[in-house]
Amino acid sequence: MKKKNAVATTATDDSAKQTAETRVEETPFEATASICSVLVVGLFILTFLAQNFVIPSGSMENTLLVGDHLVVDRITLAPASKWMPLVHYREPKRNDILVFIKPVPDLDADGKPQYLFLVKRLVGLPGDHIHLRNGVVIVNGAAIDQPHAQPTTADNHQDFLDEFPSVAPDAQPGGATESWAVEFPGHVVNGDLVVPEGKYFMMGDNRHNSLDSRFWGFVPRENIVGRPLFNYWSFQTPEDAYQRTGLVSNVSWIGHVALHFITETRWTRTLHIVR
């Protein structure tokens, strides 16, 4: 009798175990709901809190390199919101690296305007008087320390870039925009460029290879998207890589990344804080 009871108990235990396992199995509907929840949370983060950006040009070298992938904080510099009272908001500060929408759109092949995202360093705040002397930025009569900026030498000196705004910009392809060339004289007072209210003056750290506010003017406050926090991945990338379009070019680049992921990833820049 004891043996039979033991067998009966074992059978009962196995049945209970199977029942428990059956109960914890996730239905297709529940699995879909879980995936959707993750996607919604991820979309919320990428839309309102943080966003991924990749550096396509060398205008911020050596602070940021072509192929750096950045996580950008979209909250701190956003207008204060009552529905997120615990978030710390602040206004942009001089020397902040900022992501913003270029104030003057580029035109695509069909002549339609394209509003590009750019990354530059904030040099001039509203009301600031700015000029450059031999590449040194002077704000409100005092030279500001910018060790991150490319130095000016006898070999790379250019009057328009390094003595700004002593030489007025000329509207030309690949150079200053026509609207800025017309607007520019109205902002120059006693040899200084005066930043108007609600606007900001941006420059790239690679001062002699940067199309910035010297070429297209001030950035409105509402165009500022956020500030980069850290570099989560950096891959050695040619400067023209992100200008190549078409299926063949994209597939070729994806294959190159997959093949050289280990050898061409800049591992020392992983999780590098952007300053």
Q: Provide DSSP, the chain.
A: -HHHHHHHHHHHHHHHHHHHHHHHPPPHHHHHHHHHHHHHHHHHIIIIIEEEEE--SSTTTTTS-TTEEEEEE-STTSPP-TT-TTS------TT-EEEEE-SS-EE-TTS-EE--EEEEEEEE-TT-EEEEETTEEEETTEEPP-TTSPPP-TTT--HHHHSTTSS---B-TTSB-HHHHHHGGGGEETTEEEPPTTEEEEE-SSTTS---HHHH--EEGGGEEEEEEEEEEEB---TTGGG--SHHHHHHHHHHHHHHHHHHB-GGGTTEEP-
Among 5-9, 28-32, 221-225, which range has the highest average pLDDT?
221-225
Band (pLDDT 50/70/90 cuts) for residue 164 is very high
What's the whole-number mean pLDDT along residues 131-147? 95
- Residue 82, pLDDT above cutoff 80: no
pLDDT at 259 over 50: yes
Q: 173-204 burial by CB neighbour count: b if 16+ within 10 A, else e?
A: eeebbeebbeebeebeeeebbbbeeebbbbbb
For residues 123-143, average pLDDT? 97
Confidence tier at 30 by pLDDT (50, 70, 90): low
Question: Looking at the predicted structure, is the pLDDT value of residue 10 above 80?
Answer: no
pLDDT in the model for residue 15: 55
Report whether pLDDT(110) > 90.
Answer: no
Give this prediction's pTM: 0.79
Lowest pLDDT segment from 5-9, 67-71, 258-262: 5-9
Length reported for the chain? 275
208-258 pLDDT, tens digit per residue, is 999 999 999 999 999 999 999 999 999 999 988 877 777 888 889 889 999
